[in-house]
Structure 1
Amino acid sequence: MPPNTRSSESFPRQHARTQRFTLGAPRSFSVAPDGSRVTFLRSPGGDARAQALWVHEVNGDDAPRAYPAADPRALLGGAAEELSPEERARRERSREGSAGIVGYATDAAVELAAFALSGRLFVAELRAGTARELPSATPVVDPRPSPDGRRVAYTARGTLRVVHADGTGDRPLAEPEADTVTYGLAEFIAAEEMKRSRGFWWSPDSRRLLVARVDDAPVRRWWIADPAHPESRPTDVAYPAAGTPNAEVTLRLLDADGRDADDGPGLDVAWDRETYPYLVAVHWSGGGPPLLLVQARDQRTQQYLTVDVDSGRTTPLLTETDPAWLEIIPGTPAWAPGERLVRVSDATGARALHVGDAVLSDPALHVRAVLDIGEHDVLFSASSDTTGEVAVHRAALDGSGGGRVSGAAAGDAGGTTPHHASAVRGGDTLVLVTAHLGEPGARAEINGHLVPSFAETPVLRAAPTLLRAGARRIPAAVLLPTGHREQDGPLPVLLDPYGGPHGQRVVAAHNAYLTSQWFADQGFAVVVADGRGTPGHSPAWEKAIAGNIADVVLEDQVDALHALAADHPLDLTRVAIRGWSFGGYLAALAALRRPDVFHAAVVGAPVTDVRLYDTHYQERYLGTPQEHPEVYRANSVVDDAGLVGARAPQRPMMLVHGLADDNVVVAHTLRLSSALLAAGHPHEVLPLSGVTHMTPQEEVAENLLLLQVAFLRRTLGLATDAAGS
């Protein structure tokens, strides 16, 4: 048992204290191109939030030599970390709940790293294992060294700045012309929905930068207040709700030495922004000219563009279309040797890896991300027909084949077990991070050598049964109370889904089921089902919700429940559902639209009026509310037709929402509560003061689990014994 594990502690307390068992685990790996050095982040214990930057020197077949290159406790002299509003927003978009060094960037050789800490700029010399602060403007956000390691670019108050690595010559490269303008930062939509968290990119020769200019003046303003602190001003948030204007995003080429045109900073990069307003991805490497991926607002058409760095003109390389939408895949677009475009496309009916004109992935695979592009092959992650598995695969660039790279679990020498894996590579060094059903946490290995993890071992053991349910073979997991016997009879049922886009819950990883197992141990049979709309199955599976989210996702939860009841001890007279975010939306749908199936619901941070959610997400599935008002009404929990209360019987609901949530704002829950009250529908509301869409506060995270169990026991007519073991 790790030293910080407290054997007498309850699971809710440990789960909250350890940030869902993520603290102390190594993460965010980078590998030097020659394979000689690996960097990563890790906190010193399973309940320590402040992460340090570590280096592993790779020494052939010998175990790597490991040392910390930057420790936030030493760099801040023991002072508490201070976060700027910009950094808080950035962490919220990335769902980052830890502290200290939460992100870093390196030069091309992985010899110099840069990071922000308490709004200040630091660099670490990775070979020497030393770190120092550089004089800078503040608060610093997203510092990135130039590929040659001689300079560091960063943003501060919307200005893109650059400073020499020795701390001299700090100066602005592009300054905002108005309060609504920023340079070098990702806009809300890019960070929240497009998987693009950055807003500037160095040229391979370190002479220039491509920089995003964002003007959110057109975006409508919302004001988010904390009623528990009426003395504080509301926060002004530029939130692009469905059907409303987005921020204006352009790109500029800037000279790193500040030698720009006389008529303004940099050279504008021109493309058809009227047709393709979304800047999805930027790639600039030595493999070819800068690559852009731009997308139409309806996300059914996108273009890959190359940029002429002398004129700023762009040339279309490829245009893609899809009748539903085009999915954004991490690691793409990029160049393979020979200026061959690397992309992932659904055009063949499978989500396939394309390099140039060739399809390199097996048709049975569903590609999830491109991980590394080498001289001779591509590493990528992909799902297969194995329930819950995400494996790392290799494809040879010459089309000669490939195969699976990840596989065997600990103690399964030479075997292959279902797992969930990712990888990072440089030269001959491979970092493989793998989770299995049979062991807690994940194993991180450098060329087969284990990287120590300080994450705690959970006080309970999850024992999910993974299977496919019903005629549609819906991926599902069933969890029963520890020690449950067949003669114990049927159990009240708790559905515990996410159930929507980008949220796969049925995965071959032990820790993914810990909370579900805890609920099972409180006396429930817990069902987790990934119906249509969830990732990891096939493009057709994901896109089955186009134009009709609500009916499809709810139907699959009901079908999975009924199919599993034939072979599992499920008491269909006592069925509850719980969920957060999309899962909260699904839980509300279940209680309101199918009270014949569901008898209680815990509804966490739900989107209840889909017109109030953001453009890039909501319009992808439903179009705009101006073009399809009837679709928006049909897919909202609260709608103009008065759905709430129109069907009997009425099922009890617990509504939970963070008052500081700037992603799914609390207006969603307040509007639902008002509609329920008007209909005389029994419900209770739990407002969380100061809580965002995440719940990183320990006391909140712990007690939310306990309160949910108490509510479920009470509303399902079960014994109300104190829970929490």
Structure 2
Amino acid sequence: MTTEPESFPRRHARTQRFTLGAPRSFTVAPDGSRVAFLRARAGAERAGALWVLDLPGGGERVAADPAVLLGGGGERLSPEERARRERSREGGAGIVGYATDAAVELAAFALSGRLFTAELRAGTTRELPVPGPVIDPRPSPDGRHIAYVAAGALRVVGAEGDGDRALAEPDAPGVTQGLAEFVAAEEMDRARGFWWSPRSDRLLVARVDDTPVRRWWIADPAQPERDPQHVPYPAAGTPNAEVRLFVTDLGGIRTEVVWDRARYPYLARVHWSDAGAPLLLVQARDQRGQLYLAVDPDTGATRMVHADEDPIWLDLFAGVPCWSPSGQLVRIADEGGARVLAVGERPLTGPQLQVRAVLDVGASDVLVTASAGEEASAPEIGETHVYRVNELGVARISGEPGVHSAVRSGAVTVLVSAVLDRPGSVARVLRDGEEVAVVRSYAESPGFSPRVSLVEGGARRVPCAVLMPRDYPGDTPLPVLLDPYGGPHGGRVVAAHHAHLTSQWFADQGFAVVVADGRGTPGRSPAWEKAVHGDFTVTLDDQIEALQDLAKTHPLDLSQVAIRGWSYGGYLAALAVLRRPDVFHAAVAGAPVTDWRLYDTHYTERYLGDPGADAAAYAHSSLITDEGLSDAAEGPHRPLMIVHGLADDNVVVAHALRLSSALLAAGRPHEVLPLSGVTHMTPQEQVAENLLLLQVDFLKRALGTDRTPAAGPNG
């Protein structure tokens, strides 16, 4: 009996895009003796375990195994933990996050709502008997205590399990202590709500009051016996949660940190190290002004260290602000048309680099990730590299073209690299720049490599990836499928193998696939990103410009052009067939934002402003207003499939339903595919697999093509 090989869609779903089994979440001990990380035991195993690599040459060992700790029982996640994972797009299971003390000797993590610690040197684990469900446990820097959140309270327990107590409890309905509010976790990349002092004697604790936030109902119509969820959702133009910050000692004595919260309501960043006072970054609601504030932890008073203003908006970046060991402010700023690293008041990089994140600040340098700027000597399409920066200059640490990041402490660096012609990523451990180990990956290989070219298209030099079927002889033009994200915070044209697997599978079904990163996408220049201010529709203009220019040099049949996308890409796909049916002939719009008034405050107001004052910008970028549909009314009606998860609490299903109602009222045929129980992610294996197959079937029907898919083991 022979067994048919699994299809690519099934393997892609089962392995979570071939990421399961790859090491991640590295932490380096400051003495260079070990590296902690997470990794599943196999490429189709969802449950992550905590591992330790002993240096030098000690090998890898399991520090905490969820299967052992849970005794073979299944995981049970609280609603709060499910929400945290949704915000971080975490699709794994088991140990999905951990925190350590300063020496990286003690780790703490939550598993099925229970609190566990692992002694990383000794290799022992224990469960601490505390109230649950536990969220975000974090050891104190000295390793003597664990702080965590349970039932909306910030609690602390001794590392031996003694002295558990609440330091900050909810003092009113709708209040939580020590958790990030929705927009912080979803849009600011701030998932935390409490921070230990470097002396381990007190914490900064965020108090979040969700009472002002409007409530929405999230229901599952396929389960009518279940109560809907009543969730706070701060839609554009509506009230946000009120966020305050308190210094709290281990006895529960609290001192409020004072700043002008009316003018700067967003608590965007918190940093507390032994190099200086606690440091805050607070933003105005319109995100055109922000303050860097130093906190006196004894009184709660703040003093301004630096202020930024921008007529369009100010971005937030990973790893900053922070103090250098010498006490200077480290930040990333837009200066002279470039995104630069600044230490003190001095920029240390120029227009050749677009700095994206600060990875580590050492005594003699700063480690950053950056892309080549618009004034670089040669384009590096889709590449992100690791650089050492100091007053003497800039040195690149990563070598081969690709997407690189790193974690560093002292002399040891873990450099993680993904390249275009090699599956997966490689995690190399360097000591003083010399390789001393490679962390093993158990991720499965997809069994093929994308046939992809990275090029630039159009007068704006839009970064593009072009993929052809692997069996394509090159003799006839092909139907075209645009496969973008195409909006803020979401570049898809990257010099990494796995980023193009799904696009290659679509190409193998008989398409020439084009992925374009137009204006608004990250990594090129501040002006490039900010070109979408007040008008999201320019992102469609760039897709068209790239498509038409690439057709001059590639075998693209412009009489058969389809587009697919998810989230912002879904918005872009629907926009394409509604506004430009002369160019696009079919679209699949997955979880599209159709009415920007229904999306959250921090994201939407950054780009389109206050809907009360900037109603025209919202109407012009909407898919469902009269303006949104009027341009399409006179053109041909193109086939459109709308796909949406009914449990989505980020882009709620009301977006799809309102678009469908508007299309029905306008007499425009379309299809709607509701996904019961699915959130903004689609982690369910069968759903993810069949969703790809259904899209191909729809696109072929819509374009009227019956081209036979390319043969191969992953077809």
Q: Does 1:341 align with 2:324?
A: no
Cα distance per residue 1:686-711 (max 9 Å; x no partner) = 00000000000000000000000000
- SS of the residue corresponding to residue 338 of structure 2 reads coil
Match among 545, 548, 569 for residue 555 of structure 2: 569
Hey, what does 2:32 align to over in structure 1?
35
Matched residue type, 1:54? W
Hey, what does 2:318 align to over in structure 1?
330
| Conserved? CA contact 1:11–1:460, under 8 Å | no
Hey, what does 1:83 align to over in structure 2?
77
Q: Does 1:10 align with 2:7?
A: yes
Match among 661, 669, 678 for residue 665 of structure 2: 678
Cα distance per residue 1:633-664 (max 9 Å; x no partner) = 00101114462652320100010000000000
Hey, what does 2:398 align to over in structure 1?
406
Alignment of 1:75-154 (within 5 A): 75-154=69-148
Deviation at 1:450, TM superposition (A): 1.3
Match among 377, 393, 401 for residue 418 of structure 1: 401
Matched residue type, 1:403? A
Matched residue type, 1:586? L
- SS of the residue corresponding to residue 703 of structure 1 reads helix
Deviation at 1:389, TM superposition (A): 0.4
Deviation at 1:111, TM superposition (A): 0.4
Deviation at 1:7, TM superposition (A): 8.8
Q: Does 1:606 align with 2:592?
A: yes
Deviation at 1:720, TM superposition (A): 7.1
Hey, what does 1:188 align to over in structure 2?
182
Deviation at 1:602, TM superposition (A): 0.2
Query: Take 1:573 and 1:129, find their aligned partners in 2: how far apart are those partners?
Result: 63
Match among 17, 20, 23 for residue 20 of structure 2: 23
Query: In 2 relative to 1, CA 316–574 (structure 1 residues): closer, same or farther, beyond 3 Å?
Result: same
Matched residue type, 2:393? G
Matched residue type, 1:418? P
Unmatched 5+ stretches in structure 2: 373-378
Query: Take 2:295 and 2:112, find their aligned partners in 1: how far apart are those partners?
Result: 36
Query: Take 1:549 and 1:715, find their aligned partners in 2: how far apart are those partners?
Result: 26
Match among 432, 438, 449 for residue 415 of structure 2: 432
Matched residue type, 1:588? A
Query: In 2 relative to 1, CA 469–268 (structure 1 residues): closer, same or farther, beyond 3 Å?
Result: same
Query: Take 1:299 and 1:640, find their aligned partners in 2: how far apart are those partners?
Result: 29
- SS of the residue corresponding to residue 489 of structure 2 reads coil
- SS of the residue corresponding to residue 571 of structure 1 reads strand
Matched residue type, 2:422? E
Query: Take 2:350 and 2:622, find their aligned partners in 1: how far apart are those partners?
Result: 39
Match among 548, 559, 581 for residue 595 of structure 1: 581
Hey, what does 1:73 align to over in structure 2?
67
Alignment of 1:478-627 (within 5 A): 478-487=466-475, 489-550=476-537, 552-627=538-613
Query: Take 2:310 and 2:455, find their aligned partners in 1: how far apart are those partners?
Result: 31
Query: Take 1:15 and 1:673, find their aligned partners in 2: how far apart are those partners?
Result: 30
Q: Does 1:709 align with 2:696?
A: yes
| Conserved? CA contact 2:509–2:707, under 8 Å | no
- SS of the residue corresponding to residue 208 of structure 2 reads strand
- SS of the residue corresponding to residue 447 of structure 2 reads coil
Query: Take 2:626 and 2:259, find their aligned partners in 1: how far apart are those partners?
Result: 40
Match among 261, 264, 267 for residue 276 of structure 1: 264
Query: Take 2:642 and 2:325, find their aligned partners in 1: how far apart are those partners?
Result: 53
Matched residue type, 1:401? G
Deviation at 1:418, TM superposition (A): 1.5
Alignment of 1:106-505 (within 5 A): 106-258=100-252, 260=253, 266-384=254-372, 385-396=379-390, 399-407=391-399, 417-447=400-430, 448=435, 449-487=437-475, 489-505=476-492
- SS of the residue corresponding to residue 642 of structure 2 reads strand
Deviation at 1:37, TM superposition (A): 1.2
Matched residue type, 1:23? L
| Conserved? CA contact 2:141–2:199, under 8 Å | yes
Query: Take 1:56 and 1:463, find their aligned partners in 2: how far apart are those partners?
Result: 36
Query: Take 2:18 and 2:408, find their aligned partners in 1: how far apart are those partners?
Result: 26
- SS of the residue corresponding to residue 633 of structure 1 reads helix
- SS of the residue corresponding to residue 371 of structure 1 reads strand
Cα distance per residue 1:469-524 (max 9 Å; x no partner) = 1111000010000031222x000000000000000100010100000000000000
Deviation at 1:459, TM superposition (A): 2.9
Query: Take 2:528 and 2:365, find their aligned partners in 1: how far apart are those partners?
Result: 29
| Conserved? CA contact 2:414–2:427, under 8 Å | yes
Query: Take 1:244 and 1:107, find their aligned partners in 2: how far apart are those partners?
Result: 39
- SS of the residue corresponding to residue 546 of structure 1 reads coil
- SS of the residue corresponding to residue 586 of structure 1 reads helix
Aligned-pair identity in percent equals: 66
Cα distance per residue 1:440-487 (max 9 Å; x no partner) = 110011122211100000033212100111111000010000031222
Query: Take 1:155 and 1:558, find their aligned partners in 2: how far apart are those partners?
Result: 48
Deviation at 1:42, TM superposition (A): 0.1
Hey, what does 1:411 align to over in structure 2?
none
- SS of the residue corresponding to residue 316 of structure 2 reads coil
Q: Does 1:54 align with 2:37?
A: no
Cα distance per residue 1:360-392 (max 9 Å; x no partner) = 124210001000011111100000131000000
Query: Take 1:56 and 1:348, find their aligned partners in 2: how far apart are those partners?
Result: 43
| Conserved? CA contact 1:335–1:342, under 8 Å | yes
Query: Take 1:443 and 1:293, find their aligned partners in 2: how far apart are those partners?
Result: 34
- SS of the residue corresponding to residue 577 of structure 1 reads strand
Query: Take 1:185 and 1:38, find their aligned partners in 2: how far apart are those partners?
Result: 28
Query: Take 1:525 and 1:400, find their aligned partners in 2: how far apart are those partners?
Result: 47
| Conserved? CA contact 1:420–1:436, under 8 Å | yes
Deviation at 1:427, TM superposition (A): 1.4
Deviation at 1:257, TM superposition (A): 3.2
Query: Take 1:39 and 1:154, find their aligned partners in 2: how far apart are those partners?
Result: 21
Query: Take 1:370 and 1:402, find their aligned partners in 2: how far apart are those partners?
Result: 14
In the superposition, the TM-score normalised over structure 1's length comes to: 0.95
Cα distance per residue 1:282-301 (max 9 Å; x no partner) = 00001100000000000000
Deviation at 1:179, TM superposition (A): 2.5
Query: In 2 relative to 1, CA 435–642 (structure 1 residues): closer, same or farther, beyond 3 Å?
Result: closer
Query: Take 2:544 and 2:205, find their aligned partners in 1: how far apart are those partners?
Result: 48
Deviation at 1:721, TM superposition (A): 5.6
- SS of the residue corresponding to residue 441 of structure 1 reads coil
| Conserved? CA contact 1:290–1:306, under 8 Å | yes
RMSD (Å), alpha carbons: 1.2
Displaced runs of 4 or more, over 4 A: 720-724
Query: Take 1:716 and 1:64, find their aligned partners in 2: how far apart are those partners?
Result: 58
